[in-house]
Amino acid sequence: MALYRRFRHLINYGFFGCVTTGVNWAAYALMAGPLGMDYRISNVLAWFISVCVAYATNRRWVFEGDDENITREIFRFFAARGFTGAVEILLLPALVSWGMDMSLFGVENFVAKITVTVINIILNYILSRLFVFKGARR
């Protein structure tokens, strides 16, 4: 129990990160698969849905946001996620399409999605901890 208390924000971030990632992947798979949407559009919509879930869970259970100016906090959260969303939006096509001519990349779209997700998980934690919820109880 003491170990949980010491690392609860990391444990909660991991758990709710899995939930958020699951929402992202499920939305992406539904839109890119059965709905037949272009993978780029599917990716943007899945990102937006998962950012809404991430804000709610990060504020309440991970970083215990206590900023009284919730508008400012939401703005910072979406700005940070906008940055990592841009990374995802630019990197996914690079790994899927542009990489076809380059032996270094040229990966299947779901392998590319997993790769980009791992990069974004790390970036999102750093930005949330240092920029969005910097004054929150941890």
pLDDT of 104-125, one tens digit each?
Answer: 455 667 778 888 888 988 999 9
Three-class DSSP category at 30? helix
- Contact assessment for residue 16 and residue 54, using Cβ atoms and an 8 Å cutoff: yes
pLDDT at 99: 53
Residues of the chain with pLDDT > 90, as a percent, come to: 45
pLDDT at 109: 74
pLDDT at 44: 87
Please tell me the distance from the alpha carbon of residue 30 to that of residue 41, in angstroms, as a whole number.
Answer: 12
80 pLDDT band (50/70/90 cuts)? very high
pLDDT of 61-75, one tens digit each?
Answer: 898 887 888 899 999
As a whole number of angstroms, the longest Cα–Cα distance in the chain is 52
| Domain segments of the chain as ranges | 2-132
Report in angstroms the alpha-carbon separations of 69 from 55, 57, 60, 132.
15, 18, 15, 12
- Contact assessment for residue 7 and residue 15, using Cβ atoms and an 8 Å cutoff: no
Q: Which residue has the tokens 């400012």?
A: 72
- Contact assessment for residue 84 and residue 120, using Cβ atoms and an 8 Å cutoff: yes
- Contact assessment for residue 77 and residue 55, using Cβ atoms and an 8 Å cutoff: yes
pLDDT of 7-45, one tens digit each?
Answer: 888 899 999 989 998 999 999 999 999 999 999 999 889
Phi, psi of 17 (to 5 degrees): -65, -40
